[in-house]
Amino acid sequence: MTTVTQDIQPILKKYPNARRDSLITILQEVQDAQGYVSKESVIAIGQYLRLPASKVFGVATFYNQFRFHPTGRFHVQVCRGTACHVKGSLSLLDTVKKDLKILPGQTSRDRMFSLEVVACLGACGLSPVMCVNGEFFARMTPTRARKLLDGCRKEAVQS
Protein backbone atom coordinates (compact mmCIF):
# COMPACT_ATOMS: atom_id res chain seq x y z
CA MET A 1 0.00 0.00 0.00
CA THR A 2 2.67 2.48 1.03
CA THR A 3 4.70 1.89 -2.09
CA VAL A 4 1.83 2.91 -4.33
CA THR A 5 1.06 6.01 -2.30
CA GLN A 6 4.69 6.99 -2.40
CA ASP A 7 4.71 6.48 -6.13
CA ILE A 8 2.26 9.24 -6.75
CA GLN A 9 3.91 11.79 -4.49
CA PRO A 10 6.25 12.97 -7.29
CA ILE A 11 3.17 13.50 -9.46
CA LEU A 12 1.39 15.44 -6.74
CA LYS A 13 4.47 17.55 -6.14
CA LYS A 14 4.18 18.81 -9.69
CA TYR A 15 1.00 20.59 -8.67
CA PRO A 16 1.89 22.86 -5.79
CA ASN A 17 -1.10 24.59 -4.22
CA ALA A 18 -3.37 22.60 -6.48
CA ARG A 19 -7.12 22.91 -6.01
CA ARG A 20 -9.93 20.74 -7.18
CA ASP A 21 -9.72 22.00 -10.76
CA SER A 22 -6.48 20.04 -11.15
CA LEU A 23 -8.21 16.82 -10.14
CA ILE A 24 -8.77 15.41 -13.63
CA THR A 25 -5.24 16.16 -14.79
CA ILE A 26 -3.79 14.53 -11.71
CA LEU A 27 -6.01 11.47 -12.12
CA GLN A 28 -4.89 11.17 -15.73
CA GLU A 29 -1.25 11.41 -14.83
CA VAL A 30 -1.61 8.83 -12.09
CA GLN A 31 -3.37 6.46 -14.46
CA ASP A 32 -0.70 6.96 -17.10
CA ALA A 33 2.01 6.18 -14.57
CA GLN A 34 0.34 3.19 -12.95
CA GLY A 35 -2.07 1.91 -15.54
CA TYR A 36 -5.01 2.44 -13.20
CA VAL A 37 -6.17 4.53 -10.29
CA SER A 38 -5.79 2.59 -7.08
CA LYS A 39 -7.72 3.06 -3.87
CA GLU A 40 -4.55 4.34 -2.24
CA SER A 41 -4.11 6.88 -5.02
CA VAL A 42 -7.66 8.13 -4.60
CA ILE A 43 -7.11 8.64 -0.90
CA ALA A 44 -3.72 10.29 -1.42
CA ILE A 45 -5.07 12.61 -4.10
CA GLY A 46 -7.98 13.47 -1.84
CA GLN A 47 -5.71 14.29 1.05
CA TYR A 48 -3.52 16.38 -1.20
CA LEU A 49 -6.39 18.37 -2.69
CA ARG A 50 -8.36 18.36 0.59
CA LEU A 51 -11.19 16.54 -1.09
CA PRO A 52 -13.08 13.62 0.41
CA ALA A 53 -12.34 10.26 -1.20
CA SER A 54 -15.99 9.94 -2.20
CA LYS A 55 -15.71 13.13 -4.27
CA VAL A 56 -12.50 12.06 -5.98
CA PHE A 57 -14.02 8.69 -6.77
CA GLY A 58 -17.27 10.29 -7.89
CA VAL A 59 -15.47 12.57 -10.34
CA ALA A 60 -13.24 9.77 -11.56
CA THR A 61 -16.17 7.45 -12.26
CA PHE A 62 -17.96 10.22 -14.11
CA TYR A 63 -15.44 9.81 -16.91
CA ASN A 64 -15.10 6.53 -18.71
CA GLN A 65 -11.39 6.92 -19.14
CA PHE A 66 -10.44 5.89 -15.62
CA ARG A 67 -9.80 2.36 -14.50
CA PHE A 68 -9.77 1.26 -10.88
CA HIS A 69 -8.21 -2.14 -11.31
CA PRO A 70 -4.76 -2.88 -12.66
CA THR A 71 -4.97 -4.06 -16.26
CA GLY A 72 -4.52 -7.73 -16.94
CA ARG A 73 -1.76 -9.27 -18.98
CA PHE A 74 -4.15 -9.01 -21.91
CA HIS A 75 -6.07 -5.80 -21.96
CA VAL A 76 -9.14 -6.38 -24.12
CA GLN A 77 -11.09 -3.47 -25.54
CA VAL A 78 -14.42 -3.89 -27.25
CA CYS A 79 -15.71 -0.99 -29.29
CA ARG A 80 -19.26 0.07 -28.64
CA GLY A 81 -19.25 3.05 -30.98
CA THR A 82 -22.10 3.61 -33.42
CA ALA A 83 -20.57 1.85 -36.42
CA CYS A 84 -19.58 -1.17 -34.37
CA HIS A 85 -22.94 -1.21 -32.69
CA VAL A 86 -24.66 -1.43 -36.05
CA LYS A 87 -22.42 -4.35 -36.91
CA GLY A 88 -23.34 -6.28 -33.79
CA SER A 89 -20.83 -5.25 -31.12
CA LEU A 90 -23.38 -5.86 -28.39
CA SER A 91 -23.41 -9.61 -28.84
CA LEU A 92 -19.65 -9.46 -29.29
CA LEU A 93 -19.29 -7.79 -25.92
CA ASP A 94 -21.68 -10.29 -24.41
CA THR A 95 -19.59 -13.17 -25.67
CA VAL A 96 -16.40 -11.64 -24.33
CA LYS A 97 -17.97 -10.96 -20.93
CA LYS A 98 -19.15 -14.55 -20.66
CA ASP A 99 -15.90 -15.97 -21.93
CA LEU A 100 -13.77 -13.96 -19.52
CA LYS A 101 -16.32 -14.02 -16.69
CA ILE A 102 -15.65 -10.38 -15.95
CA LEU A 103 -17.49 -7.14 -16.55
CA PRO A 104 -16.15 -4.07 -18.30
CA GLY A 105 -13.80 -2.22 -15.95
CA GLN A 106 -12.80 -5.41 -14.20
CA THR A 107 -9.74 -7.58 -14.20
CA SER A 108 -9.85 -11.35 -13.84
CA ARG A 109 -8.65 -12.76 -10.57
CA ASP A 110 -5.59 -14.33 -12.14
CA ARG A 111 -4.73 -10.93 -13.63
CA MET A 112 -4.77 -12.52 -17.09
CA PHE A 113 -7.50 -10.42 -18.69
CA SER A 114 -8.97 -7.01 -18.21
CA LEU A 115 -11.92 -5.73 -20.16
CA GLU A 116 -12.78 -2.24 -21.27
CA VAL A 117 -15.58 -0.83 -23.35
CA VAL A 118 -14.58 2.07 -25.57
CA ALA A 119 -16.69 4.55 -27.48
CA CYS A 120 -15.02 4.49 -30.88
CA LEU A 121 -11.57 3.21 -31.72
CA GLY A 122 -11.45 5.33 -34.84
CA ALA A 123 -11.44 2.32 -37.13
CA CYS A 124 -15.06 2.26 -38.10
CA GLY A 125 -14.25 0.80 -41.53
CA LEU A 126 -13.17 -2.40 -39.79
CA SER A 127 -16.18 -2.67 -37.54
CA PRO A 128 -16.94 -4.39 -35.29
CA VAL A 129 -13.54 -3.89 -33.78
CA MET A 130 -11.74 -5.40 -30.81
CA CYS A 131 -8.35 -4.53 -29.53
CA VAL A 132 -5.94 -6.61 -27.43
CA ASN A 133 -2.95 -4.84 -25.91
CA GLY A 134 -3.26 -2.17 -28.61
CA GLU A 135 -3.48 -4.57 -31.54
CA PHE A 136 -6.64 -4.21 -33.66
CA PHE A 137 -8.84 -7.09 -34.74
CA ALA A 138 -11.30 -6.29 -37.51
CA ARG A 139 -14.77 -7.59 -38.39
CA MET A 140 -15.10 -9.66 -35.29
CA THR A 141 -17.78 -12.25 -34.64
CA PRO A 142 -18.50 -14.04 -31.39
CA THR A 143 -16.76 -17.15 -32.66
CA ARG A 144 -13.67 -15.28 -33.76
CA ALA A 145 -13.61 -13.44 -30.44
CA ARG A 146 -13.59 -16.71 -28.52
CA LYS A 147 -10.77 -17.98 -30.73
CA LEU A 148 -8.81 -14.80 -30.15
CA LEU A 149 -9.12 -15.09 -26.39
CA ASP A 150 -8.17 -18.78 -26.49
CA GLY A 151 -5.12 -17.75 -28.49
CA CYS A 152 -4.17 -15.37 -25.68
CA ARG A 153 -4.49 -18.16 -23.13
CA LYS A 154 -2.29 -20.45 -25.21
CA GLU A 155 0.29 -17.74 -25.59
CA ALA A 156 0.36 -17.33 -21.83
CA VAL A 157 0.94 -21.03 -21.26
CA GLN A 158 3.75 -21.21 -23.80
CA SER A 159 5.75 -18.29 -22.53
Residues making contact with other proteins (CB under 8 A) = 39, 42-43, 52-58, 61-62, 68
* From 45, 49, 84, 140, residue interacting with ligand FES (rule: CB under 6 A): 84
Q: From other proteins, ligand FES, none, which one binds at residue 43 (CB under 5 to 8 Å depending on kind)?
A: other proteins
Number of residues that bind ligand FES (CB under 6 A): 12
Whole-number Å distance between alpha carbons of 72 and 55: 27
Using an 8 Å Cβ cutoff, are 75 and 132 in contact? yes
Q: Which residue lies nearer to ligand FES by CB, 100 or 117?
A: 117
Binding partner of 133, given other proteins, ligand FES, none, CB within 5-8 angstroms per partner class: none
> Measured between alpha carbons, how far is residue 15 from residues 45, 52, 122, 133 in Å?
11, 18, 33, 31
Strand 113-118 versus strand 130-132 pairing type? unpaired
